[in-house]
Amino acid sequence: RPYIILGTLREQLLYPNVDRQVSDQELSEVLQQVNLQDVLTRVGGFDQEVPWENILSLGEQQRLAFARILVTRPHFVILDEATSALDFKNEGNLYQQLQKTNTTFISVGHRESLFNYHQWVLELSEDSHWQLLTVQDYRRQKAEEISSVPGDNSQARVENSPHQQAAMKPQINSSEELLLESPTTTILTEEGLSHAQMTKLSNYSVSSI
């Protein structure tokens, strides 16, 4: 469940810097981007304090949290089951809006649809092992595991979605899986590596993560 503060709609969107100066027009445009344009009318404007958890559904609260990201533009965010209450259309819209920003996002979730908006997967196992690989390689690996199960005659196929065919900057996603672009198809499996070693392995700076 997203963190919803006590306060006005303006404060919800500007949190944690609620004193920042952003025009009503800019805030209205962000609400439209996340498909929440009707909320402004429902609550009577940006400066009405209302009991948000009684007014907004869980899906609307999740969209409001994305709107906050689009307004505040942090360097990176961790999205923990951030679209669990949304349909795929709304989920896709939110991630596409986020991809247009310079924010690096780390997604934690169980929806396979999240692969469409990430390039890498970091999978964590119960035995403290992990593996880091591209989304394409991860899907291929899982498809091979399924096809190798005795008595399973289903044929799994790995395809790239249009989102993954488009160029995307590296980000992470995790569902006990974290989605990250690898220059090779090598699967990296290690344990107990330092921050510097992780950076060297991925060939991508993780200093802000």
Task: Write out the two tokens for 144.
Answer: 């091979």
| Integer angstrom CA distances of residue 97 from 89, 117, 186 | 12, 11, 31
Given a contact cutoff of 8 angstroms between Cβ atoms, the answer to whether 97 and 70 are in contact is: yes
Whole-number Å distance between alpha carbons of 68 and 103: 12
**1 band by pLDDT with thresholds 50, 70 and 90:** confident
Q: Is the pLDDT of residue 188 over 90?
A: no
The more confident residue out of 126 and 80 is 80
pTM above 0.85, yes or no: no
| Pair 137, 180 in one domain | yes
CA angle 204, 205, 207 (to 5 degrees): 155
Q: What is the pLDDT of residue 178?
A: 53
| Pair 97, 55 in one domain | no
Q: What is the pLDDT of residue 185?
A: 39
| Pair 38, 97 in one domain | no
Domain's final residue, options 54, 72, 90: 72
Q: What is the pLDDT of residue 126?
A: 86
Q: Is the pLDDT of residue 114 over 70?
A: yes
Q: What is the pLDDT of residue 164?
A: 53
Q: Is the pLDDT of residue 93 over 90?
A: yes
Q: State the average pLDDT over residues 109-127.
A: 91
**200 band by pLDDT with thresholds 50, 70 and 90:** low
Q: State the average pLDDT over residues 173-201.
A: 45
| Pair 96, 43 in one domain | no
Q: State the average pLDDT over residues 142-168.
A: 63
- Number of domain units in the chain: 2
The domain of 169 spans: 81-209
Whole-number Å distance between alpha carbons of 65 and 148: 41
Whole-number Å distance between alpha carbons of 138 and 49: 46
The more confident residue out of 209 and 78 is 78
Q: What is the pLDDT of residue 46?
A: 97
Whole-number Å distance between alpha carbons of 6 and 12: 8
| Pair 23, 119 in one domain | no
Q: How many residues does the chain have?
A: 209
Domain's final residue, options 37, 54, 72: 72
**207 band by pLDDT with thresholds 50, 70 and 90:** very low
The more confident residue out of 151 and 63 is 63
Domain's final residue, options 51, 72, 93: 72
| Pair 48, 99 in one domain | no
| Pair 42, 63 in one domain | yes
| Pair 85, 64 in one domain | no
**196 band by pLDDT with thresholds 50, 70 and 90:** low
* Torsion sign over Cα 76, 81, 85, 91: positive
Tens of pLDDT, residues 121-140: 998 888 889 999 999 999 99
Task: Write out the two tokens for 11.
Answer: 């404060």
| Pair 118, 172 in one domain | yes
| Pair 10, 66 in one domain | yes
